[in-house]
Each structure stands twice: as structure tokens, then as C-alpha cells.
Amino acid sequence: MDPFSVLWESRNYLIIVPVLSLLMLVHELGHFITARLSGMKVEEFGFGFPPRIVGKEVGGIIYSLNWIPLGAFVRILGEDDPKEPGSFASKPFLPRFIVLAAGSGMNFLLAVALFATAFATGWPTPSSVQAVIVGVQDGAPAQAAGLQAGDVILRVSGQPADSLEKVQQVTRANAGGTVPFLIDRQGEELTIPVTLRATWPNGAGPLGVQLRERPVDIHLVAYPILESVARGWERATKLVTLTLSIPALLIQGAVSPEQARPISLPGMTQLAGQAATESAESGTPFPLLTLMAAFSAGLAVANLLPLPGLDGGRLLFLIIEAVRGRRIAPERAELVHAVGIAILLALMGVLIVSDIVSPPPPVDWGVPGNSGRR
């Protein structure tokens, strides 16, 4: 296959270039805007990384376009020299704190905007859900009655099992009694009576199964603008909260190390290619919009981690400076940041190898085959 054909076949994976460029551009725009509002002298705002293609000076600021498209940067005068008028280091604690945090803040707002756009243009929404048994506890009433993993619960005691909460509510209300379960087992409907237990151990229930919801009749729902923004904010906030909760969830065993593993550029490229393909085939931007929103929210969190070389590391130094009442020597701070960047690059190398050896699994975007809206 000739190089052009290879490039054409992999064209959807090239979507990672504009995706990351947008995320980094918005991030640096946060630094740029807040630096200007704080009276700091911005020397250059660059799209892409050097070498420079072209640059134009406007109002004392060089706006440049550079050859390496994966990113952007802001160069502020005197980040370590408080004697320079208008320099970053010459400003009080609060303006410096805001400038450093603004990049992540903008990424969070971008995640909100992307989620809101996904809600406004069509969010996959099921008409109903089914309760599917994914596990049966040993010795539980469900096992004694013959319920199996893979069974779909249609009705419990004559009531439709249209949510996990409904199944739990009915079984708890009938604890200790015998209840008929109408199930679908590989296309065959069966009625199975189950004698529920009256008491049960922690983390279990009267029935003794693990359930998951399976969406039924998925369609795209386009929400009004204001509601979309509210839902976008809620979604982005939940994603950030979940990301911050991962260490605790790992300790509790609620998520596996494989599910919680971070991904690097190869993994992001693969997921972006899958999302672009799914968006093109389904006729809805939902997969690509939500993936970009997830990347942006993840970038917001990652950059605020208190690690040398990241915005969060510089914020940590700023807080230490405020507590000590004097600045940390610039040469010491730069040494720590340099070591931190070296460690981060090494970690990134490990993640790249991990993504190549064990790529992230495909994502079920949940979009309907027919992109009709309601």
C-alpha cells in the first residue's frame, strides 16, 4: 500500500491534532487573558511550538504560528524576577495564583461547553432500561431458584422491572416472601418463583444478584440551550469529581487498575479516531464532542496536580512562598521543576509503551444506528 493510501486509511486518527490543539489553545488562552487583566507584560502568544513559521507584533505582543501543531504557549515577562516592572514575579500572590490556575479553569469551562453542545445537538437517551443479571451470589435465593447471569428481568411480582431501583424496591418490600420473576433468557420468557431472604449481609440484598442497566430503544434527545448548559456543567463536575476519587475507588476495589490507568498520546489518538469514525457513521457529533470534553476535563485536573513542572507544582510553590513569607530561590525552584519534568517525561514514556502494547479497549458510545431526533 502506498504512503498516500496509508494516510487516507488512517485519516480519522489525525483528528487528535486539532483536538489537542484546541485543548492546549484554550488552556493557554486562560493564562493569556488573566495575565493581561493582571497587568503582566505578555511577550508572546504562540499557537503550536517552535520553530516559528510566522509572527506578528500587535500592541507589544508577538502572536506567532509555529511548526509543531500539538499545543500553544504564552511567554510572560520575568517569571522569576520580581524587579522587572510588569513581570509575573513582580505581582502579588493572588494575581499569580489566578494566572496559574486559569489554564485549568478554561479547560473545565471548555468541557462544560462541549458537553452542553452534545446535549443541545442530541444526547443518546433510552426510552427505558432493562435490569440484567450479571452475577449470582453463592447460596443466595436467586441461585436456589435457578436465576442465571445474563437473564433479563422483565417483571417482579407483576410490576415492570424498568430500573435497578424498581427491582430493589420491590424485592425489599417483599423480603421473606415468594415472588414471581418474569425473565427473558436468550429470547425465551420464563416465570421463576423466588423465595427472598428476610435478612441479608452488608452489600447484598433479598435476592442476591448483581445487576446492571441495559438501555432499550436509544434515541437522540436535543435539549434546550439553558438546560444543555446546566447538564453540561453537571456532567463536567461529575467527571472531575470521579477523576479525583479514583485513588479512593482503587483502594476500595470499586474500580480495577486497568479501568483507572491513565493513557498517553497513542491511547488518546486511538480513542479520538474511534470517536471520529463513530460520529461520521452515526451522523451525530456526540462521540467526538464527549471525548473532547472528557480530555479537556482530564487536562484541567492533571495540570493542577501538585507535581513539579505542572501548573499545580508552581501553585504549590506559590502557596509555600505565602506561608514562609518569602520567595523560594529561583534557581532552586527551577531545579525542582526540571527534575519533575524529567520524571514526568519518563512516566510518559512508560505510558506510551503501555498504550502500544495494550491499547485501550473500544468505547461503546451508545449512539443509535438511526440518528433520528426526538
pLDDT band at 74 (very low <50, low <70, confident <90, very high): very high
Which structural domains are found in the chain, ordered by start?
96-122+222-374 (no CATH), 125-220 (2.30.42.10)
More confident residue, 261 or 45: 45
Encoded amino acid at 122, one letter: G
Query: 212 has which bridge partners?
Result: 132
Mean pLDDT, rounded, for 225-247? 94
Q: Is 173 exposed, middle or buried (0-12, 13-18, 19+ CB in 10 A)?
A: middle
Mean pLDDT, rounded, for 90-116? 96
pLDDT higher than threshold 70 for residue 368: yes
Q: Dump pLDDT digits (tens) for 129-155.
A: 888 998 888 889 999 999 999 999 999
pLDDT band at 228 (very low <50, low <70, confident <90, very high): very high
For 56, the grid coordinates are 506578528
Q: Decide if 363 contacts 270 (C-beta within 8 A).
A: no
For 39, the grid coordinates are 497587568
Query: 124 has which bridge partners?
Result: 220
pLDDT higher than threshold 80 for residue 258: no
pLDDT higher than threshold 50 for residue 82: yes
Mean pLDDT, rounded, for 299-309? 90
pTM over 0.75: yes
pLDDT value of position 194:
93
pLDDT mean across residues, the chain: 88
pLDDT value of position 254:
66
pLDDT band at 367 (very low <50, low <70, confident <90, very high): confident
In the numeric block, the cell 505565602 is attached to 322
Going by their DSSP bridges, the two strands 42-58 and 178-185 should be labelled as: unpaired
pLDDT higher than threshold 90 for residue 355: no
For 356, the grid coordinates are 502500544
Closest C-alpha among 29, 30, 37, 27 to residue 95: 37
Q: What is the C-alpha separation between 320 and 333, in angstroms, rounded?
A: 11
**Alpha helices (runs of H) in 253-310, residue ranges in sequence order:** 257-260, 265-282, 286-303
Mean pLDDT, rounded, for 28-42? 96
pLDDT higher than threshold 50 for residue 4: no
Mean pLDDT, rounded, for 121-136? 87
pLDDT value of position 144:
92
CB atoms < 10 A from the CB of 212, how many?
12
DSSP helix/strand/coil, 191: strand
Going by their DSSP bridges, the two strands 152-156 and 159-160 should be labelled as: antiparallel
pLDDT band at 8 (very low <50, low <70, confident <90, very high): very low
pLDDT higher than threshold 70 for residue 168: yes
pLDDT band at 14 (very low <50, low <70, confident <90, very high): confident
Q: Which of 30-34, 121-125, 345-349 bottoms out in mean pLDDT, i.e. has the lowest?
A: 345-349
Q: Dump pLDDT digits (tens) for 173-224.
A: 999 999 999 999 998 999 999 999 988 887 778 998 888 888 877 889 999 9
Closest C-alpha among 92, 95, 78 to residue 36: 95
Encoded amino acid at 219, one letter: H
Query: 159 has which bridge partners?
Result: 156
To which H or E segment does residue 15 belong?
A: none
pLDDT value of position 308:
83
